[in-house]
Amino acid sequence: MLLLLAIALVGVFLLPSAQRGADAANPSSGTVNTTGPGVAWDGTALGGSSAGESTCVEGVNCDTYTLTVSGTAADWAGKVVDVRISWLVPANDFDLYIHKGSNAGPIVADSGSGAPDTDEEASFDPSVEGTGTYTVHVVYFSVAGEQYHGTAKAQNKPTARTATYVDGGITFSPNVTTKAPVASRDGEPSSRTDTSGNFYVTGIRGVPAGVDLWYDDLNSDPYVRNWVYRGQPDSFTGD
């Protein structure tokens, strides 16, 4: 009897610990630095679906990996921490959130592109955000029968692109208003030009009126000043 009671008490004390462990990824934590190979882990939540990070249940449809960024902010100059999760089935949909400090802390990076896809990736800059503890919070937005694989590593910061352009020397002619008979205005304009210089512009009038069509010959009117109204080619009213 005493032995059974002791086993029962051990089970009571161990149960909360096991439940807490189910909330975390496997392994539950790791450390990255500027020169190391990085870290890896796998998801452990049950799956299913979640409307978002604020409503998900840890261990059920989201889990957390605790990531420590070592060193000082100055050590990370010119580098970022790249975090990626991947899976095999394109129909499954995981979302990635990276927080500073804890899941209650500010989001420093996130990625949630939606299905069909097989990965989410985001990076953050410790020289700006600081080093220390971060959490990688993965939400099982819509997942069945699969776990994700996560990685985090240091990589060089992408080089900023310098645009090349000509400053000045480009002029534009004044706008010309086109108007269709009866219609007060059209919306969502669209244009097409062929290799012979025929320039067509349409605007949506509505249903059942359809669209209005204008035409200009760029060979004789290169500044597009003399539009010719061509009617409503898809009107249901016969206009």
How many C-beta atoms lie closer than 10 Å to residue 189's C-beta? 13
pLDDT higher than 60, residue 15: no
Instruction: Give the pLDDT of residue 207.
Output: 65
CB 176 within 8 A of CB 228: no
Does 168 fall in a domain? no
Give 49-114 as a 3 state SS string: ECCCCCCCCECCCEEEEEEEECCCHHHHCCEEEEEEEECCCCCCEEEEEEEECCCCCCEEEEECCC
Tell me which of 31-35, 109-113, 134-138, 184-188 is least confident: 184-188
pLDDT higher than 50, residue 85: yes
- Give the tokens for residue 27: 């392994």
In terms of domains, do 29 and 69 share one? Answer: yes
Domain count, the chain: 2
Amino acid (1-letter code) at residue 214: W
CB 152 within 8 A of CB 136: yes
Among the listed residues 228, 235, 234, the one whose alpha carbon sits nearest the alpha carbon of residue 199: 228
pLDDT higher than 50, residue 229: yes
Tell me which residue range forms the domain holding 208: 187-231
Residues of the chain with pLDDT > 90, as a percent, come to 61
What CATH number is given to the structural domain containing 120? 2.60.120.380
CA dist 79 and 16 (Å) reads 40
In terms of domains, do 79 and 150 share one? Answer: yes
pTM of the model: 0.62
Residues in the chain: 239
Instruction: Give the pLDDT of residue 13.
Output: 38
pLDDT digits (tens, 9 = 90+) for 141-180: 999 999 999 999 999 998 888 888 777 777 777 888 887 8
